[in-house]
Structure 1
Amino acid sequence: MSRPHDLPHPFFHFGNPFRMISPKGSNLSKRLLLLLNNFEETLAGRLKKLNPKDKDGVLSLSWMKLAMLSLCETHNDIKTLITELELPVCDWDEKWIDAYLDISVNLLDICNSFSSEISRLNQGHLLLQCVLHNLDSSSSKQFIKARSSLDAWRQHISSKNPRVENCSTILNKLVESLDLPKVKNSAKGKVLMRAMYGVKVETVFICSVFASAFSGSARKLFDLNVDDKYMWAQAFTGLQTSINSEIRNLYSSGRFTVLKELEAVDTSVKKLYPMIQDGVDPVEVEAFQKSVSDLARRAEGLSQGLDLLTKEVDGFFHVVLTGRDALLCNLRECGTVSDTKLGCKVVERVQS
């Protein structure tokens, strides 16, 4: 699997604002230490909550929903921290600003990719509804239509989404920013950059898990090494090991998906399909009706889970977008104009 130190080309050629920075020897005031500790303790608790108690929680849509919600909360926390640090944007290095805008639009691209895949999976629900509608009748013609819809569903679900496949390139860029030469900064800057490292690590991890789940491949996963000096390091390592290991185990066993709800629907489809090949034998009517009911229940569970996940992905998109817009607004108030063209470029990429 890819690791940060294996990537040859640094993302921030000018120095990395997300470099791991230890507070030791940095003469941080009690107030700054308190802000940093509160941020890291909160992040640690948040990561612990994401660690499933058993393997059945990997990867359910409910877990993915919680993971995306956790990411939104962490990104909101960093906004709050910036405010509490009273670190004016006017003092930020222009190259850091450009990098932040570039990273933010990469995250928006990832959100759009995830949304497109969720929408694609939800389209399959329409095919399942056709199946269930046709199975209301005992007519052989309706059974033929039902088989055709099941074939279409299986083909639709097994197809690949090129937008999800491209997520790896974007994630590689984000990983590259995790381990670069140290940047000298003020005490407030060091607190911010240390906190931003935590944000980046959680973001890369969760997005890589999503990319792996949606692409049907464990190759989208990253194994990130985090120094024990961070309060959240142990919680993150435990979470990463638990989730990544189980995903790899599932794929190595031949599963076409690690999404629990999608796998459940596929199991029902495989069980029902032979029953409608030549019509239902009177002896098998009860088993047939149970299979139809199971498919209906599981299909509805998949659809509802995808709808809830869509809301959280859209929420994360909004968090990233408003953060970028707030930065541009602050730059204009500071009289900075060099960001204008880049801002337009960002908008063009988001809308394309």
Structure 2
Amino acid sequence: MNNCGNPFKALFPKKNNAHLLSLLNDFETSLTVSIAQLVPKDNDENGFLTFSWMVHAIHSLCETHQSITTLVTDLDVHVSDMEESMIYMHGDISVKLRQLCTAFNSELCRLNHRNLLLKIACRKPEAFSLSQLDGWRQHMASKNPRIEICGEVLSSLVESMNHHHSLYKKVKKTKENEKEKVLLRALYGAQVETLYIFSVFYAAFTGSSKNLLYLIIPKDMEEVPWGQNRFMVIKDLEAVESGAENFCTAVQEGLVPNLLMVEPLKKSVMELSERVDRVSKEMSCLSDVVSSARDTLFKRLMTKFEDNKKNTIS
């Protein structure tokens, strides 16, 4: 990562409140570190699409959106004409993020159901029939309708991010509204990280690198420390599917599988179930955190709006 100094120094006049600048630095530094940790190392032969990476990625997003909640409270932003548009935009983004969380969790549930079939096979391999094998393969080949629409949702979020940037440029030109500059910058950064991670999830669950989003960060924003990342299948799934196919081949060839034969498959299935559960738990946490951040922002801005309204009437 290049050392580009203080990324927010040009946003504010020198006379600006040091506390405000400190809030900006703290959030952006944390965000930069989080994103840098998500990028795979060049010598990582296994790539980054593992369930362990997914757990780390969603946990990172939870921390980012929790930081947004804290920032909104610390900033105590005043109401302006721009904020009504921001409220609607942020509300729409929150709904779409929760929609993506629900879709990804539904795919994780499907993976667990698929794993359940293999767990049954591992317990009594000698009793596992060809019809059960066909059921597993059909489940493998089926598509999840909720995942299918994720591409449209992600594309609409990219449009929202671009609109958000337009709002940021508008307020950045003013000599006032310094707290709004901080908030818009932070919200934009959170959107970038969220889209980066959710794009990887979508590509992984659809099995296509074509579904990766390549986000274009405007020149007037600080450069984000990501490079182009290679795409791989989810390694945890690859191990299970390979073991399951070997097991299927043995049954089709008339061999009577025993517990020793399925032991490697059993181990990979149990590990996968545990990891899927961890990702699902983090995804549910993220959905709750996104809602909390949205509610905090709405409450803060609406409270300010009502206060200003009362003062105007008085």
TM-score by length of 2: 0.83
Report the more deviating stretch, 187-196 or 49-58: 49-58
Quote the Cα distance in structure 1 between the aligned partners of 2:286 and 2:186: 18
Q: 2:196 aligns with which of 201, 205, 210?
A: 205
The equivalent residue for 1:171 is: 154
Matched, 1:83 2:97: no
2:249, 2:75 → 1: CA distance?
A: 64
Whichever residue aligns with residue 18 of structure 2, its letter is K
Deviation at 1:89, TM superposition (A): 5.8
Q: Which whole-Å deviations, capped at 9, do the CAs of 1:46-97 have from their partners, x for residues lacking one?
A: 1122223314142110110100000010111111122222214688621211
Q: Which deviations, in whole Å up to 9, do the C-alpha atoms of 1:275-323 show, x marking residues without a partner?
A: 2224338xxx8xx654400110111111111111110000000001122
Aligned partner of residue 240 in structure 2, secondary structure: helix
Give the match for residue 267 of structure 1: 242
Partner of 1:150: 133
The Cα of 1:36 is off from its aligned counterpart by 1.1
- Alignment of structure 1 residues 122-133 onto 2, 5 Å: 122-133=112-123
Q: How far did residue 130 of structure 1 move? A: 2.4
Structure 1: gaps spanning 5 or more residues: 1-20, 251-257, 337-352
| C-alpha distance 127-259 of structure 1, shift in aligned 2 (>3 A) | same
SS of equivalent to 1:56: coil
CA offsets 1:200-250 (integer angstroms, 9 cap, x no match): 10011111111111122223211113357766x353x23xx22xx2x1xx4
In the alignment, structure 1 residue 222 sits paired with structure 2 residue 205: no
Which residue in 1 is equivalent to 2:309?
none
Distance 1:325 1:201, change over 3 A: same
The yes-or-no answer on 1:37 pairing with 2:25 is yes
For the 8 Å contact 1:205–1:222, the answer to whether it is kept is: yes
The question of whether the paired residues in 2 share the 8 Å contact of 1:62 and 1:305 is answered with: yes
1:291-302 paired onto structure 2 within 5 Å: 291-302=261-272
Structure 2 unaligned segments of length 5 or more: list them: 1-6, 307-314
Contact kept in structure 1, 2:114 and 2:139, CA below 8 Å:
yes
Residue-pair matches, total: 288
Q: State the shift of 1:29 in Å.
A: 3.2
Q: Distance in 2 between matches of 1:234 and 1:102?
A: 25
Q: Deviations over 1:234-270 (max 9, x none)?
A: 53x23xx22xx2x1xx4xxxxxxx1211111110012
Q: Does 1:303 align with 2:273?
A: yes
1:22 to partner: Cα distance: 6.2
Deviates more, 1:46-55 or 1:198-207: 46-55
Does the CA-based 8 Å contact 2:94-2:290 persist in structure 1?
A: yes
Matches within 5 A, 1:281-292: 289-292=259-262
Q: What residue is the counterpart of 2:289 in the other structure?
A: 319
Q: Against the structure 1 CA distance between its residues 76 and 103, is the aligned structure 2 distance closer, same or farther, given a 3 Å change threshold?
A: same
| Letter matched to residue 118 of structure 2 | L
CA contact (8 A) 1:265 1:295 kept: yes
Residue 170 of structure 1: how far off its partner (Å): 1.1
After superposition, the CA RMSD in angstroms is: 2.5
The answer as to whether partners of 2:50 and 2:236 remain within 8 angstroms in 1 is yes
Counterpart CA distance in 1 for 2:213 and 2:273 is 29
Query: Contact 1:74 / 1:199 at 8 angstroms: preserved in 2?
Result: yes
Contact 1:128 1:149 in 2 (8 A): no
Is the aligned partner of 1:113 residue 2:85?
no
When normalised by structure 1's length, the TM-score is 0.75
